[in-house]
Amino acid sequence: MTGTWTAAAVDPNDDGTPPDAEEWVDVTVPGRPERFAGEDAVAYRLRFDDPRADDDQRTVLELRGLYAHARVWMNGELLGDHDTYFVPAGYEFDPAERNELVVECRAPEDAFGGVQATETLPAEAAVPGIWWGAQVRVRPATFLDDLSVTPRYDGDDAAIEAAVTVDAEEPIDDYVTLSLRPEGFRGGGAMERVEVTAEAGERTTVTREMAVRDPSPWWPHDHGPQHRYAVRAKLGDTSVSETTGFRTVACDEDDGLLVNGRPIRARGVNLLPLDDPRGDVERAAEANANLVRAHAHVPPRDLHEACDEAGLLVWQDLPLTGPVEHDVDRGRDLAAALVEEIGNHPSVGAYGVHDDPRDPFDEPLGSGRTDRYRFRWRAWRSEYDHAPDESVAEGLPDDVPVFPVAGPPGTSPDAANLYPGWKYGDASDAEWLLDRYPDLGRVVSEYGAGALASNADGSVPGFDADAHAAKAGTDDPDASQAYQAATVQTVTDTLRRRGTDVAAAFALRDPAPDAGMGVLANDRSEKAAYEALARSFEPVQAVLDEPPSPGAVGVTVVNDGPEPVEPTLSWAAGDAEGTETVTLGPDSTADAGTASIPPDAETLELLLTLSDRTVYNEYDL
């Protein structure tokens, strides 16, 4: 569509007519105009010419990322309303020579506004609007409107069920050609023709299950290649395509996380809904993560596509966070829509329903005995009824892990949000915490600490200044980042040594300039914690058994990989040094002895030499 978008803050009406305003200002669509931050409703208007080359063609409006509730008018006629921002809204219309499109977007009217509707993000992150895209497609009289693909895989047999929707303005008795081919690798393909008949003005969907011989599975990047299959449907001059892949994912207390039947330790980061999700996926992979958690929001499909390509599992949350009550039926509807929208992506490895339904540690606690009693008291008082969230979870597929509740100690969470060294205690108290509450250490949905990215002036969204003052105790960005790095490293080491199945640090990137929980600043520049996390996330790594101090400290070698290894560990601290050779099987740990740190040492360096590479780790004293 050509033309200039304008927008205005409006008061929604109930008579079904387009909203109007005294002043419309130029804006960029897609986008989130900052000038409308905090508004309850914003209308967007575009005037454009008839895009058709001839009158026999059809026009379809597609809007993506309509947040959060919307109504759409074309030339004064109400085309429809929409309340699921992560599902595209599509409307056919008969264009005039000159057209006026009006889209009214309203702030969330229920509990499912996601993390955007909280103080974790700046107010402009939740501007009602057209976030991801707007276009008019010109179509022939009969065309393919949609293709959905559902992979089925049990480790041996595989098939892809394709469902193609045909929109016929004229009677049709023809065949849709379905083709399947491997994407970027050699393997078995297929081609089939499916008969389609429809009366004039009818929409019909035809399905076909296409068997795949000798299927090649999709793997996380540290366990194998990212095999994918492209499915294309063609009818006349119109075609649609989708990409999918084969994998199985399971997670239970006995076997841990299994991908394609193989034990895998997921090392991940939480992603917030910021700009350029592909860039965030790239930085997560560079930090040796093999999982990202879409934290309490649904991102554009770019993120899932990027994770398919890069080999990162996606833990996909529903947009539900905080101590809010929610409508279970609405939650189930959103769950079903979410699965339909992203279920074809092989990277989707888990779903989450409700994040942080309680916040018992909003005021930070220290690390002494008295504070541990206080911690236990707060946890005891944080009991939470999982029933509504579990009911929503029933609407999610049973062939991938589902975590109904991701929450703090005391809520009996299915996945634990743990913050030793930030909300309570010291980073080294992670050991005490997991000894006291061992069930919390299996799946950890959040952990970390905040840090200054620069000299912050005033409050910063998503940054707990009180926790920072209590724990880091500094206004110097370098010292602040050093504290964050040490905390992230210590907790990561603890989780890896203890065999945590899934561990996701919070967060990859700050949602605002100056400070935040990210290991990257808002502009993607690295804080000290990014390098520390990348080292700690090496698939094979030597880690300390406790924070370093002069004297003997234990060293453990962790192997998250699929093959046995026999590395040699070399350590150095001041004038002291030593070596140790260890043997590890896949998905295992081994005691690598101790390092003796002299009193005058400033750093402890660990060097792990494997057959194909050398891995480095470092601890400041």
pLDDT in tens, 369-389: 999 999 999 999 999 999 999
The token pair that represents 241 in the structure block:
């395509």
Q: Is the pLDDT of residue 469 over 90?
A: yes
Contact 484, 525 (CB under 8 A): no
Contact 474, 456 (CB under 8 A): no
Report whether CATH 2.60.120.260 matches the domain 6-138: yes
What superfamily in CATH does domain 260-537 come from? Glycosidases (3.20.20.80)
Report whether CATH 2.60.40.10 matches the domain 142-244: yes
Q: How far apart are CA 585 and CA 578, in angstroms?
A: 23
Residue with tokens 């994407």: 183
- What is the pLDDT, as a whole number, of residue 15? 85
- What is the pLDDT, as a whole number, of residue 589? 97
Q: Which residues of 484-513 are buried (b: 16+ CB within 10 A; e: fewer)?
A: bbbbbbbbbbbbbbbebbbbbbbbbbbbbe
| Residue ranges covered by each domain of the chain | 6-138, 142-244, 260-537, 544-620
Reported confidence tier of residue 351, pLDDT bands at 50, 70, 90: very high
Contact 448, 505 (CB under 8 A): yes
The token pair that represents 154 in the structure block:
């049990």
- What is the pLDDT, as a whole number, of residue 456? 80
H helices present in 381-498, as ranges: 387-393, 430-436, 465-471, 477-497
pTM score: 0.97
Q: How far apart are CA 352 and CA 393, in angstroms?
A: 8
Encode pLDDT of 132-178 as tens digits. Answer: 999 999 999 999 999 999 999 987 889 999 999 999 999 999 999 99
- Architecture in CATH for domain 544-620: Sandwich (2.60)
- For 158, counting Cβ atoms within 10 Å of its Cβ (0-12 exposed, 13-18 middle, 19+ buried), the class is buried
**Other C-beta atoms lying within 10 Å of the C-beta of residue 198:** 19
Arithmetic mean of pLDDT over the chain? 96
Contact 91, 60 (CB under 8 A): yes
What SS3 class is residue 206? Answer: strand
- Look at 182-191, 409-418, 520-529 and tell me which has the smallest mean pLDDT: 182-191
Residue 266: CA count within 13 A, CB half-sphere: 35
Residue 357: in which H helix or E strand, if any?
A: none
What SS3 class is residue 39? Answer: coil
Encode pLDDT of 2-33 as tens digits. Answer: 899 999 999 988 888 999 899 999 999 999 99
544-620 matches 142-244 in CATH topology: yes
